[in-house]
Amino acid sequence: MRVVREPEELEENYQRAYCEALTAFGNGALFVEKFIEKPRHIEVQILGDKYGNVTHLYERDCSIQRRHQKVVEVAPAIHLDQHLRDRLTSDSVNLAKQVGYENAGTVEFLVDKSGKHYFIEVNSRLQVEHTVTEEITDVDLVHAQVRVCEGRSLEELGLKQENIRINGCAIQCRVTTEDPARGFQPDTGRLEVFRSGEGMGIRLDSASAFQGAVISPHYDSLLVKVISSGKDLPTAATKMNRALLEFRVRGVKRLALWRPGPRGYRTAPALHAPRSHRPTRFITACCSSAQYLNEGRHYINAWDPRRAPG
């Protein structure tokens, strides 16, 4: 992706983007679209059945990203105006109905500082961050997917829109095997020690995080997803802080986005500031690689577990 701010920059950037696309994908076709300055990334979870019915399960705020990859997700979106929430969910449901969408999907939007939203795409799958939606709605999305494929209607599953309510707040952090000292390159090796943070209000999703597991260079650097839930954002954040502090990992470097914040819990401060507009480049704008390594003083709490206590 390249940003063009002046007409004279267009030709050069077009040629560079074309060559990059051709080299990477064998196809130089490009999309040209309006550049949204410092947007928020808000996405809506939808579910459709085989009979034309579509419901939404509210939204997630996925604005905390690095290199266009989500690292922290929150549901429901923080400080989101109710009118904007209604427009996002309504547009998502209407879009899905128009195309006859079936099963789980995510409609993604960018939201600018004025509150205007722009459609990005529909992901026709269950996404990594679906966990926070499950926590605030008490809906098992995997179970719902299977039942919809079997021909069950949303009404039969008890998933009519009026039955879906927001209950509390949930946060997901991705613990990854990345090395900030090497530009966040994935680290590999055997997990000599693995102890996760657990307890009430904490959910862990992982398939390969255990003592003795080998972290391969051939797969994504995600080690485990940590999900906290509570009656509100401060409660969920406090639980997340406790869970992450209880983690013990040795054998590979690990990285988690979390920092000391107000009221004793840890998180990026823009996550909590009233009426804040958390842009998708928030991490990049605030932190350098050196800052990531500065244990807890900045926006990333990262360290070499080989030298960590416990």
Q: Could you read off the pLDDT of 109-148 as tens digits, one per residue?
A: 999 999 999 999 999 999 999 999 999 999 999 999 999 9
Residue 254 has pLDDT above 50, yes or no: yes
* Residue 297 pLDDT: 31
**From 2, 16, 125, 306, the catalytic residue:** 125
Angle CA 170–293–229, to nearest 5: 10
- Averaged pLDDT of the chain: 83
* Residue 12 pLDDT: 94
Q: Could you read off the pLDDT of 195-237 as tens digits, one per residue?
A: 888 899 999 998 778 888 888 888 878 889 999 999 999 999 9
What domains sit in the chain, N to C, each tagged with a CATH number? 40-163 (3.30.470.20), 169-303 (3.30.470.20)
Share of the chain above pLDDT 90, in %: 55
Which pLDDT band holds residue 256 (cuts at 50, 70, 90)?
low
* Residue 295 pLDDT: 38
Q: What are phi and psi of 260, to 5 degrees?
A: -60, 135
Count of Cβ atoms closer than 10 Å to residue 63 Cβ: 29
* Residue 37 pLDDT: 87
Q: Could you read off the pLDDT of 279-296 as tens digits, one per residue?
A: 555 555 544 444 444 433
Q: For strand 202-205 and strand 222-230, is the pairing parallel, antiparallel, or unpaired?
A: antiparallel
3-17 residues labelled b (16+ CB within 10 A) or e (exposed): eeeeeeeeeeeeeeb
- Is 125 an annotated catalytic residue? yes
Q: Note whether 63 and 279 are within 8 A (CB).
A: yes
Instruction: Retrieve residue 111's tokens.
Output: 């939201």
